[in-house]
């Protein structure tokens, strides 16, 4: 899946919510904190990590997101 970024960046937990991968911000923060998100091949545990154009995310085992 691709996500078109309109601003300079988006915080990771907000992106998960916008993509409808979770129902609440709290759930998004838990997913990140528990190690279910990989950013550019590296585990990302910062809930407020600034996601920018060019980043590639893998959430869980089956959701891949490219930031364009």
Task: For residue range 14-51, list pLDDT tens digits in order.
Answer: 999 999 999 998 999 999 999 999 999 999 999 999 99
**Distance separating alpha carbons of residues 7 and 27, to the nearest angstrom:** 24
3-class state of residue 42 by DSSP: strand
Q: Give the pLDDT confidence score for residue 61 in this predicted structure.
A: 87
**Distance separating alpha carbons of residues 66 and 59, to the nearest angstrom:** 11
Q: Give the pLDDT confidence score for residue 35 in this predicted structure.
A: 94
* The overall pTM is greater than 0.95: no
Q: Rounded mean pLDDT of 1-22?
A: 94
- CATH code at 2-67: 3.10.290.10
* pLDDT value at 64 more than 90: yes
């Amino acid at each position: 899946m691709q996500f078109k970024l309109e601003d300079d960046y988006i915080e990771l937990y907000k992106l998960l919510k916008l993509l409808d991968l979770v129902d609440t911000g709290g759930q998004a923060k838990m997913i990140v904190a528990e190690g279910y998100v990989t950013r550019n091949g590296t585990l990302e545990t910062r809930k407020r990590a600034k996601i920018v154009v060019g980043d590639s995310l893998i959430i869980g085992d089956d959701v891949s997101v490219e930031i364009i």
